[in-house]
Chains A and B, each alone.
Chain A
């Protein structure tokens, strides 16, 4: 197991490097540059040229990338082009709220999708099953920004039960309860998408397990039907679900970009949006690097969890 993790980490190094090259290239392909984005149109061209020279924007592509990489290898992510603050600090500030949002949505999704999926599978081809499967379909097809706006209108504007955005009330006490209240709407929106997709995974996985021979063995022993489904079947059905939920983390990070905009959530998503608009290359590169690391780590984590949960799997 240890050597499996070590091998996977080794393999992920060149993958990570490749991702940064491609990202760098794509970012450079986007029209415009940081200087043009910020400077008053009346600024004399010489000044713009000087500024570009200073930021190293006139060097060839590979030189720019090489410089960025050298910097990275020294543990330096550089300074933001727009705010001149250290990029590392910017990300550090923002990553916490985003992870909070994503993992809350994941857990909420799991807590809802699991019981519904199991129920649907146990009662498969009944009216309940059709109703719940239909509901999950609606959940998947509903555009999340639309749902977000709808919920905002209803709960924040009409009923005034929940805050419209942000992570904490301005000038509030900054308590846990306050943050929880702010979490409810964005988490709900992200979770609905997760739930919609996952109900069907859970249902399918459980249906598959429900047909296995070892459940018949358990019944033949005289085990109660509830224990047959919730002890014998569920443990097996959860195995593929671990992988499926693990893969959801990158998707949640992507989804949070829009949701963070709508709810003014002070996370990575907002920072990403701002950096794209201002062509803030160092921040964008760092954000992409973080995203790539998150994806690679979750994949590894899923594989490790899988091996821990399934006695049949052994990595060498």
Chain B
């Protein structure tokens, strides 16, 4: 994997990006509040890297992915593609950028038109962007299907004739058709059989190397994120609580939420089943009325009065964390420390 150069212009940059969905009520249907799906996210994605985006359902990771591609209208903030601001560009002016920023989805079956053949599906974006004539597009589609590891004969077949893993390959081929620089992968392996997941992860890795791709890899499964990412961002209730190089984040997480997320993931080793498992209590608060101060304070075992009053900023350079009392140290003794501190706090 090529080492991403931090000096380069970010391929994609988000500055205080927010995506709100209005809540309307009353006789006049006035907007009385917002669901803050994404709330003030700042991040940069560099050429050649894979930025993993993890968090639990409802944390806003998918909405962030969609907003970065301008598939959702941001409520506030700015988006830059290679330094050009694209936040408010009209659909027509955005078109040249669209081909460079693509997306693949969790459920390839739902995102593939059942009445089109695999060849037509892959050729479609080429025709839509007027990048090729019909014959040329279909020829390219054949090549792309082969590139993602599908047999030659598949171009003439329909989505239902493929297995889940093969459908995901079609989805990938379609995203590649317009020669993108960055692909947002939204839970691309979550719906697949375990034995097939690794094939798709391999494919994504190989394509990245061959085609100089950059990925934003959204997933709730930490294993896949750890495997494929170079950097990882952890989201909670619409904000990024920690972002760092994969190794640093997994070896010494600084945010209590990251630590709990890692700790709660099952480990494929029956000898470690006795380990102390500490998970946040209760449910995730509503995104329409997030807690004051640090959003995690309602479920954090080490929350202090300051955490209720003051929202922590995401600081710390390469290993940034949004926490007033970030954790140090490593590994399991730290978790035990968390347990002790929790007991002391009660």
Contacts and interface: CB of A to CB of B under 8 A. Distances in A.
Interface of A: 3, 6-7, 10, 316
Interface string B15-29: 000000000111111
Given A6-B27, A7-B26, A316-B26, 8 more contacts: A3-B26, A3-B27, A7-B27, A7-B28, A7-B29, A10-B27, A316-B24, A316-B25
Contacts of B29: 7
Interface in B11-64: 24-29
6 contacts: A3-B25, A3-B27, A7-B28, A7-B29, A316-B25, A316-B26
Q: Is the interface of B mostly helix, strand, loop or mixed?
A: loop
9 A-B pairs with the lowest CB-CB distances in the bound complex, closest first: A316-B25, A3-B27, A6-B27, A7-B27, A3-B26, A7-B29, A10-B27, A316-B24, A3-B25
Contacts of B25: 3, 316
Nearest to B28: A7
Contacts of A6: 27
Nearest to A2: B27
A133 to B, nearest CB: 27
Nearest to A5: B27
Contacts of B27: 3, 6-7, 10
A3 B25 CA distance: 8
Nearest to B23: A316
Contacts of B24: 316
Nearest to A11: B29
Contacts of B26: 3, 7, 316
A7 B26 CA distance: 8
A316 B29 CA distance: 8
B34 to A, nearest CB: 14
Nearest to B29: A7
Interface in B185-218: none
Nearest to B25: A316
A7 B27 CA distance: 5
A204 B27 CA distance: 36
Contacts of A7: 26-29
A6 to B, nearest CB: 5
A40 B142 CA distance: 82
A316 B288 CA distance: 16
A85 to B, nearest CB: 39
A143 B25 CA distance: 46
Nearest to A7: B27
A296 to B, nearest CB: 17
A10 B28 CA distance: 9
A7 B30 CA distance: 11
